[in-house]
Chains A and B, each alone.
Chain A
Amino acid sequence: MKKPIVAVVFGSRSTEHDISVLTALASVIKPLELSKKYTVLPVYIAKTGKWYVGDEFKKIATFQTEDLEDLLAKKQPVSLLFDNGLRLIERGRLGRDVIHCPDVVFPATHGTHGEDGELMAICEMANVPYVGCDMESSVIAMDKILAKQVAVAHHIPTAKFVSFTKIAYESGSEEWHKKINKELRYPVFVKPAHLGSSIGISRVTHKKDLANAIEVALHYDTSALVEEGVENLIEVTLPVMGNERLHPALLEEPLLKSEDFFDFDTKYMQGGKGKGKGQGMSGGQDKEAQGAQGYSRMPAELPKGLYEEAESIGLAVYRALGCSGIARIDMLIDSKAKQVYFNEVNPLPGSLYAHNWSRAGVSTVNLVEKLIKLAEERFAKKQNLTTSFSTNYLQQF
């Protein structure tokens, strides 16, 4: 029996390019190969945006040399066809092209041009099963404003916020400042709507600094949000897996020692009185620090009721946003008021949060196997839907 081909797509034009390489190599490709059930096709999207395939991209050493650029210059990028599933065409010598037809696509990109739904859109276009959140939920999850709006519509608690587009803000910034000062209590966090990491996020303690912070956020994005800071902050994150039946991993509390951060930065980014890092730092920063288990507590040490509430809010968010496959939900807890707030969703958590899953009883090899199974299930369900119509509208004229 021929083994199914799994295309692991990673890299891409993103600030999290390097983290994506680590996720793909260590947490996806290696366990897939260990399982011996699949043929792995590494698909590397260079920082230029060109797509490449080749077994050399399975090795970390390929990405650690200065010669990567030379290697890519010598290699032919692949071109894509979307008929009959996704086809990657590698220009061969003497006009003999090599055509790769993956049975499943495993996206392992982080941040822009990948995790944000763009890669999923390509898979939808090609009608090929793919792992993780679908296009729609990825788009929503990666837009902090949309995600919060969806949460609010589902009565899921989230920190109070004000959001605006760049155009709206520039046509009346004073009005917006007034609105913010009226509706929100300082300190506030100013964030660009997209971007998976801490880029462009500022903590503002005084209204005189608000304008500068908004300018920074809007330097990166076409819309931004200003959000009330949570007091007595405990940050937690919950990896979740599943399509209809959901399987939460352990609620994890990231712990960061102050010496791991630059003195200046910690002082300004920390939420409370030295209690972990500020909410603004979630996302990309986590991806770097996670895996080293000294940095987090699993499961988070919360009173039982609060733990359960955080878990159920995490699952509710996963459902509300329409996530499938896998996602990680970040939440903020006011430890005194015992209130859990939804913060944001990572549709493609760095390293798949394998360290957490293995504590939760899912081995790294099992994790990728399960994710592929979930992808196939979702795909099969979708094929059963009627997507073409027998009547030809144009013929009626």
Chain B
Amino acid sequence: MQVVVDSLMTRYDRGGKGKVVVLLHGWADSAAGLRTLGNALQKNYDVIALDLPGFGGTQTPKQSWGLDDYVQFVQHFLKKIDAGKVYALIGHSNGGAMAIRGLADGTLRAEKLVLLASAGIRNEYKGRNRALRILAKAGKLVTSPLPIQIKKKLRRKVYKTIGSDMLVAEHLQETFKRVVTDDVRADAAQITLPALLIYGELDEDTPVWYGRQFHELMTDSTLEILPGAGHFVHIDRPDDVQKAIKEFL
């Protein structure tokens, strides 16, 4: 289904009956990534899953956005589709960071929070990131006289080798830089509602210690670590994740 929110054509899914559960996907993913989970929850809940701006079937914002802009957008979206009272927010990776920020500053409201391999701890890679940033700047300078086509190709190659997420959403470079530098640990500390944190044991993008830190910061949280699962816990261990969420909700 589609709806226009803040002049952006927005694609979303909604199905099922019951209390409202909103799914927020991660960077470079879309609602489709959470489909299996969404379908499972539809049996007991009114599930809403949207493609966030720049991803899936939703338009890309004209300016670069930060985490706060995304949170605002989610709020406007829920209002526009007349979502009603939100019972639970489920956020994966960057969607988790969004949920934490939104709940902490009151933009979003919910009774329960589920974080799947949530991101939001940003400065630990400082050394590597800074080195990369300097390298990137230097690279830009050196390659500036080259034709744009070759530059594009080179850049793609470089990003591929360092495994950057920038590659998967090239059109959102500036937004990406802003979003991933935004730390939500201070926000997490303000969260008092019941929260379920699920992390994959083998996750390298948002390692288990992210979960431990959030767990310490929040007042009423449960941390589950799934052995053998990676960053996409809900895809690697769908049954375990669904079971844990159903019990928690």
Contact = CB atoms under 8 A, between A and B. Distances in A.
A and B touch in the complex (CB under 8 A): yes
Interface of A: 69-70, 73, 200, 202, 208, 212, 215-216, 219-220, 262-265, 267-268
B39 A216 contact: no
A212 B81 contact: yes
Contacts of B80: 212
B163 to A, nearest CB: 18
B2 A216 contact: yes
A200 B82 CA distance: 20
Given A208-B82, A264-B1, 19 more contacts: A69-B149, A70-B149, A200-B2, A202-B1, A212-B3, A212-B80, A212-B81, A215-B4, A216-B3, A219-B4, A220-B9, A262-B13, A263-B42, A264-B13, A264-B14, A264-B15, A264-B35, A265-B13, A267-B15
B32 interface: yes
Contact of B153 (A70, A200, A264, A267): A70
B54 interface: no
Contact of A202 (B2, B42, B149): B2
A216 B4 contact: yes
Those 3 A-B pairs whose CB atoms lie nearest each other, nearest first: A264-B13, A216-B2, A73-B149
Nearest to A203: B1
A69 B149 CA distance: 8
B53 interface: no
B26 interface: no
A216 B81 contact: no
A263 B37 CA distance: 12
A262 B153 contact: no
B16 to A, nearest CB: 9
A70 B153 CA distance: 9
A70 B157 CA distance: 14
A220 B59 CA distance: 12
A262 B32 contact: yes
B3 A268 contact: no
A202 B49 CA distance: 17
A264 B42 CA distance: 10
B35 A262 contact: yes
Nearest to A264: B13
Contacts, number: 41
B235 to A, nearest CB: 16
A250 B13 CA distance: 36
Interface of B: 1-4, 9, 13-15, 32, 35, 38-39, 42, 49, 80-82, 149, 153
Nearest to A269: B1
B35 A263 contact: yes
A39 B71 CA distance: 58
A265 B12 CA distance: 9
Contacts of A219: 4, 9
A73 B38 CA distance: 43
A303 to B, nearest CB: 35
Contacts of B49: 264
B177 to A, nearest CB: 24
B168 to A, nearest CB: 14
Contacts of A200: 2
Contacts of B39: 263-264
16 contacts: A69-B149, A70-B153, A200-B2, A202-B2, A212-B80, A216-B3, A219-B4, A262-B13, A262-B35, A263-B15, A263-B35, A263-B39, A263-B42, A264-B14, A264-B39, A267-B15
Contacts of A212: 3-4, 80-81
Most buried by A among B4, B9, B35, B39: B4
Nearest to B80: A212
A70 B42 CA distance: 46
Most A C-beta atoms less than 10 A away, residue of B3, B32, B35, B80: B3
B39 to A, nearest CB: 5
Nearest to B9: A219
A192 to B, nearest CB: 11
B7 to A, nearest CB: 8
Nearest to B81: A212
B55 to A, nearest CB: 16
Nearest to A67: B153
Contacts of A265: 1, 13
Nearest to B3: A212
B249 to A, nearest CB: 20
Contacts of A267: 15
Contact of B1 (A70, A215, A220, A268): A268
A12 B9 CA distance: 23
Nearest to A266: B15
A262 B38 CA distance: 11
Given A73-B149, A265-B13, A215 B35 contact: no
Contacts of B1: 202, 264-265, 268
Contacts of B3: 212, 215-216
A341 B187 CA distance: 57
A253 B15 CA distance: 28
Nearest to A214: B4
Nearest to A199: B2
Nearest to B82: A208
Contacts of B13: 262, 264-265
A187 to B, nearest CB: 13
A15 to B, nearest CB: 12
A263 B41 CA distance: 13
A220 B32 CA distance: 23
B43 to A, nearest CB: 12
Given A202-B2, A263-B39, A264-B15, A216 B9 contact: yes
Contacts of B82: 208
A219 B2 CA distance: 11
A139 B3 CA distance: 28
Of the candidates A73, A202, A219, A220, the one having the most CB atoms from chain B within 10 angstroms of its own CB is: A219
A212 B2 CA distance: 8
